[in-house]
Amino acid sequence: METALSDFFDSIIAEKGASLKTAEAYRHDIEQFLQISAINEFKQISTQNIADFMAYLGNQGFATKTQARKLSAIREFCKFLFSENLIEQNPAADIDSPKLEKPLPKFLNETEMDALIDAAKTAQDIRHRRITAMLILMYHCGLRVSELVSLPINAINQAKKQILVFGKGAKERLIPVSDAALEEIEDYLSYRHCFIKGKESKYLFPSLSAKEGHLTRDAFYKYLKELAVRAGISPSRITPHVLRHSFATQLLRHHADLRSVQKMLGHESIGTTQIYTHIISEELIETVQKLHPLSQLKK
């Protein structure tokens, strides 16, 4: 058993590229399973004792996410044992993962977004002026940060007020661009040359210091944190993806069609987009509870 465990950990590091920390977490989870289930040899591992172990975790109050992680470790271990012909069948194949509750997306309201943009605009240096353009473009178009930083300079069609974006899986989509965003981009283009110092670049937001040739996601992330402090917003609430969530939430608040929002976000499934409707629903419930005459009468 110990030899197989060692071989398994070596394999997930060498073949799957797992970090030492991840391998150690797997070891802890698997050893816990073997100990709780009183398993001393491979043939004792069964679908039933894996299910019993999962029930034990639930009864002990382990978080759903933790349970899912431990089951993942057991699955990988059983898959390894089966591939090495140490067991005749994979006992973990039919065990369902515990359902993880999806947290509602975090977003900034319109006032907070205005404060963030104002904080960027008040800085006079060209770096912050560039971030202002990126911030407004991302908020007005709902781009992923990877899509934003890697935009080619010819992606924006000023005449048609559209932007061509290559998203996940190399899928392209057209997104309408507001006049406000186009004006910021027009202004930015007048000093874009400062970032390339006479060299050529296909990127809208180039960078000579980044090996990618464009401003990195990490650099944009750091600028956002800095702007949050200036705007009086907790930096812990700000990430590039929060801007994307804010875009979608504000559109639905103003009665945009869900299918249109799905297309602009580049979601494969409408179900992914529907998560934003839960935010609107919760806000409506809070509004009714706060303002409805019967609620006031009860108080």
Among 26, 203, 223, 276, which one carries the catalytic annotation? 276
Mark whether 144 is an active-site residue: yes
Annotated catalytic residue, options 161, 241, 253, 263? 241
Phi and psi of 159, rounded to 5°? -65, -45
Q: Is 217 among the residues known to form the active site?
A: no
Q: What is the pLDDT of residues 69-96, one digit of tens each?
A: 999 999 999 999 998 888 888 998 888 7
Q: How far apart are CA 265 and CA 295, in angstroms?
A: 37
Identify which of 207, 156, 206, 215 has the alpha carbon closest to the alpha carbon of residue 181: 156
pLDDT at 166: 87
Per-residue pLDDT tens digits for 148-180: 999 999 999 999 999 999 887 778 899 999 999
At the topology level, CATH places domain 110-283 in hpI Integrase; Chain A (1.10.443)
Does the annotation mark 130 as catalytic?
Answer: no
For residue 138, what are its two tokens? 């991302």
Tokens matching residue 180: 């406000």
* Tally of CB atoms within 10 A around 211: 7
- For all residues of the chain together, what is the average pLDDT? 86
244 included as an active-site residue? yes
In CATH, the number for domain 2-83 is 1.10.150.130
**Sequence spans of domains, the chain:** 2-83, 110-283
| Gap between the Cα atoms of 119 and 71, Å rounded | 46
Active site residue 221: no
Q: What is the pLDDT of residue 232?
A: 94
Examine the pLDDT at 136 and tell me if it is beyond 70.
yes
Domains 2-83 and 110-283 agree in fold: no
pLDDT band at 288 (very low <50, low <70, confident <90, very high): very low
Assess whether 193 carries a catalytic annotation.
no
pTM for the structure as a whole = 0.61
Task: Say how far apart CA 66 and CA 51 lie, in whole Å.
Answer: 15
CA 269 to chain centre: 16
CB 98 within 8 A of CB 56: no
